[in-house]
C-alpha cells in the first residue's frame, strides 16, 4: 500500500472516533461513553509523534466542538494540551505496560476534561455533575482494546 | 531512526499556537459571537457525520416498521380513527369559538391573534455538549429554519432554534442554564420570567415578591412579550412556592409540561407568516398549515393514548 493511502488510515480512525463520540446511547450508558477522540488521538501521538501531534489534535477537537454545538475552541484547547504532554513524554509512556498506560490515559483524560470544564465555566454558567467524570473510568478500561486494534491497523497498513 | 520533529516548528511553539488559537476562538465565539454567520456553513460541513451517527437508530426504526404485524396495524388504525373522530368533533366547536373570539377581540379593539405556519421536525439521535441542553433536529435553512425560531410540541413549549445548518439545526431547550422565557400565569395574568436551571425537570421563576398570588399547580403560558414566542403556549406548572421573610424574593420552582427527556417530534413555528385561513384537518403530515390553537385547547396528538381533553 502506498504511503498517502496508509496515512489516510489515521484520519479515517479519527473520523470514526468523532462518529462514536456523537452516536446515540441509552441514557444509563451515556455517562459512561468513553472519550473516543482522546483515545484515538493519544494512540497516534504515542505511536507516531512526528506525524500526529498538537496540530492534528487541535483540528480534531475543533470538529468535535462543532459537532457537539459547544463554544468553539473548548475541546480543541483541552485536546491540544494533553497531546503536548503525551508527545513530550512519548518514549516514557511507550515503555509502560498496557495497564500502566491506561492509568496515564486516565490522568490525561481527567486533565482534558478539567480544561474543558474550566474553559466552558469561564464563558458561561454551567453546572458540574459528578457523572461528567464517570467516563474517565470507561476510557481507562477500553484503552487496551483501542490500543490493540489501532496497533494492528497501523501494522497492517504500514502507517508510518 | 527518523529525526523527531525535524520539520516544522518545535512542539512548544505548536502548543503555544494552539493555545493562542483556542483562547481567541473561545473569546471571539462566546463574547463577540463572530462566528454565527459561518455556523451555517460549519454545521453543514459536519452534518454528514451526524446523519451517519443517526443511521443505526434510523435503520432499527425502519426494521421495526417493516416487521409490524397486520393485527397490530389494524388495531392501531382503529385506535387512530377513533381519536381522529373525537378530535374532529372538538374541532367543530373550535371553529365556532375561534370566530367568536375574533369578533370579541375586534369589539375590544385588540389585535386579532395571528396564525402561524408550522412544520414537523424529528429529533436526530446525536449526542450534544453535556453542559448544555440541546437537541439536533432534521430541518435546516433549506426548510426555512431561522435562528431564534420558537419550537413547540403538542404539549407545550420546547425551546428555540440556537444554530442553523443547511439540513440540520440545534434547538436550545427551555431548561438550559442560559435560557429565559417571558411567561404569564394563566389563572391571574401575573407576568414573570422562567429561567432554565440546567435540570430537565425544573425552571426557576426569579424576582417574585412574597405577596404574589401564586399557588402550586398554576399553569404558566408564554406571554408573547419577548416577541419571540407566540402568546398562549403552555410552558410549565408551578411545583413549589416558598418564601422566607429574610429573603427579598420568594422561591418559585416550576416543572416543564413537556417531558424534555422523552421528546421525539417537534413543531417549528413561523409566527409572522399566516398559515391558511383555517384548515381544520392537516392534509400533508410533513408540512401542515394548522391554525394556531390557544393554550387551553391544545389537543393531545394522536400518538398519545389518553383521551383528548377539552381544556
Confidence band, pLDDT 50/70/90 cuts, at residue B276: very low
Confidence band, pLDDT 50/70/90 cuts, at residue B297: very low
Alpha-carbon gap, residue B187 to B233, rounded angstroms: 14
Confidence band, pLDDT 50/70/90 cuts, at residue B278: very low
CATH of the domain at A81: 1.10.1760
Q: Would you call B163 and A69 a contact, using CB atoms and an 8 Å cutoff?
A: yes
Instruction: For residue A148, report the phi and psi dihedrals to the nearest 5 degrees.
Output: -65, -45
**Grid cell in block for residue A18:** 468523532
What is the pLDDT at residue A4? Answer: 65
Neighbours of A96 (CB within 10 A): 13
Specify the DSSP class assigned to residue B223. -
Instruction: Compute the average pLDDT of residues B69-85.
Output: 91
Percentage of residues in chain B having pLDDT higher than 90: 23
What is the pLDDT at residue B275? Answer: 54
- Is the Cβ–Cβ distance between B159 and B171 less than 8 Å? yes
At residue B221's C-alpha, the angle toward residues B217 and B225, to 5°, is: 145
Percentage of residues in chain B having pLDDT higher than 70: 84
All residues at 6 or more sequence positions from A122 whose CB lies less than 8 Å from its CB, including other chains: B26
What is the pLDDT at residue A150? Answer: 93
How far does the CA of residue B250 sit from the closest CA of chain A (Å)?
22
Q: Would you call A73 and B25 a contact, using CB atoms and an 8 Å cutoff?
A: yes
What is the pLDDT at residue B274? Answer: 59
What is the pLDDT at residue B8? Answer: 65
Residues of B in contact with A126 (CB under 8 A): 131-132, 177, 198
Using alpha carbons, select from A51, A21, A47 the residue that is nearest to residue A34.
A21
How far does the CA of residue B83 sit from the closest CA of chain A (Å)?
31
pLDDT in tens, B47-73: 888 888 888 888 888 888 888 888 888
Burial class from Cβ neighbours inside 10 Å (0-12, 13-18, 19+) for residue A113 reads buried
User: A135-157 vs A36-47: helix axis angle to the nearest 10?
Assistant: 40
Q: Would you call B177 and A127 a contact, using CB atoms and an 8 Å cutoff?
A: yes
**Grid cell in block for residue B153:** 410540541
Chain B residue closest to A121 (CA)?
B131
Residues of B in contact with A18 (CB under 8 A): 49
How far does the CA of residue A133 sit from the closest CA of chain B (Å)?
11
Instruction: For residue B197, report the phi and psi dihedrals to the nearest 5 degrees.
Output: -120, -5
Chain B residue closest to A72 (CA)?
B26
How far does the CA of residue A61 sit from the closest CA of chain B (Å)?
10
pLDDT in tens, B234-251: 999 999 888 888 888 888
Instruction: For residue B182, report the phi and psi dihedrals to the nearest 5 degrees.
Output: -75, 130
3-state secondary structure of A86: helix
Domain locations in chain B as residue ranges: 39-67+115-299, 69-112
Q: Would you call A69 and B125 a contact, using CB atoms and an 8 Å cutoff?
A: no
Whole-angstrom CA distances from B48 to B24, B52, B263, B277 are: 28, 6, 23, 38
* CATH for B39-67+115-299, options being 3.20.20.190, 2.170.120.12, 2.30.30.40, 2.40.10.350: 2.40.10.350
What is the pLDDT at residue B298? Answer: 38
Chains A–B, number of C-beta pairs less than 8 Å apart: 133
Q: Which candidate from A63, A70, A122 shows the least CB-CB separation from B129?
A: A70
Q: Which candidate from A19, A88, A124 shows the least CB-CB separation from B52?
A: A19
- Is the Cβ–Cβ distance between A155 and A110 less than 8 Å? no
Please tell me the number of Cα atoms within 13 Å of A19 on its side-chain side. Answer: 14
How far does the CA of residue A59 sit from the closest CA of chain B (Å)?
9
Confidence band, pLDDT 50/70/90 cuts, at residue B310: very low
Alpha-carbon gap, residue B252 to B214, rounded angstroms: 9
Q: Which candidate from B28, B46, B53 shows the least CB-CB separation from A66?
A: B46
Q: Would you call A19 and B18 a contact, using CB atoms and an 8 Å cutoff?
A: no
Its ipTM equals 0.82
Torsion angle in degrees (nearest 10) through CA of B198, B199, B205, B207: -50
Low-confidence ranges of chain A (pLDDT < 50): 1
Alpha-carbon gap, residue B124 to B169, rounded angstroms: 10
What is the pLDDT at residue B127? Answer: 72
Q: Which candidate from B4, B31, B54 shows the least CB-CB separation from A50?
A: B4
Average pLDDT, chain B: 80
- Is the Cβ–Cβ distance between B15 and A81 less than 8 Å? yes
Domain range enclosing A44 = 3-157
How far does the CA of residue B110 sit from the closest CA of chain A (Å)?
40
**Grid cell in block for residue A67:** 459537532
pLDDT in tens, B199-227: 888 999 998 888 888 889 999 999 888 88
Q: Which candidate from A50, A71, A132 shows the least CB-CB separation from B2?
A: A50
Instruction: Please check the confidence at residue B30 and state whether its pLDDT lies above 90.
Output: no
Residues of A in contact with B177 (CB under 8 A): 124-127
Residues of A in contact with B128 (CB under 8 A): 68-69
Instruction: Compute the average pLDDT of residues B106-124.
Output: 79
What is the pLDDT at residue A143? Answer: 94
pLDDT in tens, B126-161: 777 778 888 889 898 889 999 899 999 988 999 999
Total domain count for chain A? 1
Return the exposure string of B126-158: e unless at least 16 CB atoms fall within 10 Å of the residue's CB, then b.
Answer: bbbbbbbbbbbbbbbbebebeeebbbbbbbbbb
Confidence band, pLDDT 50/70/90 cuts, at residue B254: very high
Amino acid at each position: 500500500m502506498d504511503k498517502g493511502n496508509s496515512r489516510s488510515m489515521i484520519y479515517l480512525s479519527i473520523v470514526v472516533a468523532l462518529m462514536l463520540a456523537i452516536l446515540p446511547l441509552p441514557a444509563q450508558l451515556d455517562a459512561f461513553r468513553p472519550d473516543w477522540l482522546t483515545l484515538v488521538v493519544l494512540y497516534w501521538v504515542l505511536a507516531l509523534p512526528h506525524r500526529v501531534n498538537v496540530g492534528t489534535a487541535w483540528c480534531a477537537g475543533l470538529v468535535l466542538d462543532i459537532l457537539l454545538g459547544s463554544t468553539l475552541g473548548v475541546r480543541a484547547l483541552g485536546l491540544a494540551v494533553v497531546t503536548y504532554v503525551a508527545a513530550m513524554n512519548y518514549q516514557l509512556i511507550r515503555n509502560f505496560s498496557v495497564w500502566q498506560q491506561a492509568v496515564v490515559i486516565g490522568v490525561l483524560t481527567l486533565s482534558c476534561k478539567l480544561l474543558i470544564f474550566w474553559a466552558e465555566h469561564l464563558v458561561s454558567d454551567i453546572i458540574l455533575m459528578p457523572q461528567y467524570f464517570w467516563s474517565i473510568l470507561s476510557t481507562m478500561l477500553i484503552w487496551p482494546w483501542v490500543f490493540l486494534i489501532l496497533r494492528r491497523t497501523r501494522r497492517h497498513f504500514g502507517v508510518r | 531512526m527518523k529525526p523527531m520533529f525535524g520539520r516544522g516548528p518545535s512542539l512548544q511553539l505548536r502548543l503555544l499556537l494552539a493555545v493562542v488559537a483556542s483562547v481567541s476562538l473561545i473569546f471571539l465565539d462566546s463574547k463577540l459571537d463572530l462566528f454565527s454567520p459561518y455556523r451555517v456553513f460549519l454545521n453543514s460541513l459536519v452534518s454528514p457525520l451526524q446523519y451517519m451517527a443517526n443511521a443505526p437508530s434510523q435503520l432499527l426504526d425502519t426494521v421495526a416498521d417493516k416487521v409490524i404485524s397486520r393485527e397490530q396495524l389494524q388495531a392501531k388504525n382503529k385506535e387512530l380513527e377513533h381519536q381522529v373522530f373525537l378530535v374532529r368533533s372538538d374541532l367543530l366547536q373550535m371553529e365556532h369559538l375561534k370566530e367568536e373570539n375574533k369578533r370579541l377581540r375586534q369589539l375590544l379593539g385588540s389585535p386579532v391573534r395571528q396564525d402561524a405556519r408550522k412544520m414537523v421536525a424529528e429529533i436526530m439521535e446525536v449526542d450534544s455538549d453535556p453542559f448544555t441542553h440541546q437537541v439536533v433536529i432534521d430541518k435546516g435553512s433549506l426548510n426555512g429554519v431561522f435562528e431564534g425560531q420558537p419550537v413547540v410540541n403538542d404539549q407545550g413549549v420546547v425551546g428555540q432554534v440556537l444554530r442553523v445548518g443547511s439540513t440540520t439545526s440545534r434547538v436550545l431547550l427551555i431548561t438550559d442554564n442560559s435560557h429565559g422565557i417571558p411567561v404569564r400565569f394563566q389563572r391571574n395574568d401575573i407576568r414573570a420570567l422562567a429561567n432554565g436551571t440546567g435540570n430537565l425537570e425544573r425552571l426557576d421563576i426569579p424576582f417574585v415578591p412574597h405577596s404574589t398570588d401564586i399557588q402550586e399547580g398554576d399553569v404558566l403560558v408564554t406571554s408573547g412579550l419577548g416577541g419571540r414566542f407566540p402568546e398562549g403556549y403552555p410552558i410549565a406548572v408551578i411545583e413549589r412556592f416558598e418564601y422566607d421573610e429574610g429573603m427579598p424574593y420568594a422561591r418559585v420552582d416550576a416543572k416543564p409540561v413537556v417531558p424534555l427527556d422523552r421528546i421525539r417530534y417537534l413543531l417549528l413555528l413561523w409566527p409572522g407568516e399566516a398559515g391558511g385561513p383555517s384548515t381544520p384537518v392537516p392534509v400533508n403530515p410533513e408540512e401542515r398549515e394548522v391554525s394556531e390553537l390557544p393554550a387551553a385547547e391544545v389537543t393531545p396528538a394522536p400518538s398519545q393514548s389518553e383521551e383528548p381533553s377539552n381544556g
